[in-house]
């Protein structure tokens, strides 16, 4: 399999399960409705596990995250010629995964009156909206992700040698500890891809896609991952 297929499939699986668990908790009439933050964080952790494992099995590197790919490229640990391929695969996979989650919960989107909850299935919004604190939180969460992933992996230009389960547990821990203020995007594709899907899909009674906030879950993770990669390289 090709790296594009691996990253596309892994990211699509990640987002299908990740958006799916949020839909399960938030949307009206779902069997998991109101089951809470712990369920969401565990769901995302297992989504990362499946995504990384599948990506590496299908020819990808298990990045699933443009911030990770950019940081590894910037520190000379990933082939710069492959950067556009990985970014395209990750964002396309994220849009596809969000669309699959929408199809799975199609009836529940129609049954849910709250427009904010419908949007929350796809992308993040801060608990308290304030640009600098929100940006800093995403930087911190993404630093933890990148530094932790590098610490658990062997020196290589991919994360393919990293077992999938530890990465899932790392994301679970970040969600439980740092996820409260912004919902811990820690991945530009995880937020922007589904946000684009929300904008494009014919979701009944939906609101706007909150584009004014959309840059924070993109810029913050890239900054955090870059800092972590350079710090880890220095030590």
pLDDT of residue 155: 53
Burial 155-184, CB ≥16 within 10 A → b, else e: eeebbbebebebbbbbbbbbbeebbebbbb
Contact 93, 43 (CB under 8 A): no
Domain locations in the chain? 3-234
pLDDT tens track, the chain, 235 positions: 799 999 999 999 999 999 999 999 999 999 999 999 999 999 999 999 999 999 999 999 999 999 999 999 999 999 999 999 999 999 999 999 999 999 999 999 999 999 999 999 999 999 999 999 999 999 999 999 999 999 987 555 455 445 688 899 999 999 999 999 999 999 999 999 999 999 999 999 999 999 999 999 999 999 999 999 999 999 8
pLDDT of residue 104: 98
pLDDT of residue 154: 58
Contact 101, 121 (CB under 8 A): yes
Q: Please give the Cα distance from 98 to 18 (Å, whole number).
A: 9
pLDDT of residue 165: 85
pLDDT of residue 157: 43
Question: What CATH class has 3-234?
Answer: mainly alpha
pLDDT of residue 164: 80
Helix (H, G, I), strand (E, B) or coil at 82: helix
Q: Record the pTM.
A: 0.95
């Amino acid at each position: 399999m090709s790296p594009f297929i691996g990253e596309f499939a892994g990211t699509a699986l990640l987002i299908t399960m990740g958006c799916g668990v949020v839909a399960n908790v938030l949307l009206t009439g779902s069997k998991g409705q109101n089951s809470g933050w712990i369920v969401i964080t565990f769901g995302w952790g297992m989504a990362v596990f499946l995504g990384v494992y599948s990506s590496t099995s299908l020819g990808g590197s298990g990045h699933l995250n443009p911030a990770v790919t950019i940081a590894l490229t910037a520190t000379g640990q990933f082939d710069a010629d492959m950067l556009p391929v990985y970014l395209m695969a990750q964002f396309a996979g994220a849009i596809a995964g969000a669309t699959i989650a929408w199809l799975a919960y199609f009836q529940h989107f129609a049954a849910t009156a709250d427009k904010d909850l419908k949007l929350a299935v796809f992308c993040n919004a801060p608990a308290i909206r304030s640009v600098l604190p929100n940006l800093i939180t995403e930087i911190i969460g993404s630093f933890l992700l990148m530094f932790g992933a590098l610490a658990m992996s062997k020196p290589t230009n991919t994360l393919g040698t990293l077992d999938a389960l530890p990465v899932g547990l790392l994301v679970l821990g970040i969600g439980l500890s740092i996820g409260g203020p912004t919902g811990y995007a820690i991945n530009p594709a995880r937020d922007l891809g589904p946000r684009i899907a929300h904008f494009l899909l014919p979701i009944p009674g939906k609101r706007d896609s909150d584009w004014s906030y959309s840059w924070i879950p993109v810029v913050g993770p890239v900054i955090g991952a870059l800092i972590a990669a350079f710090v880890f390289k220095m030590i």
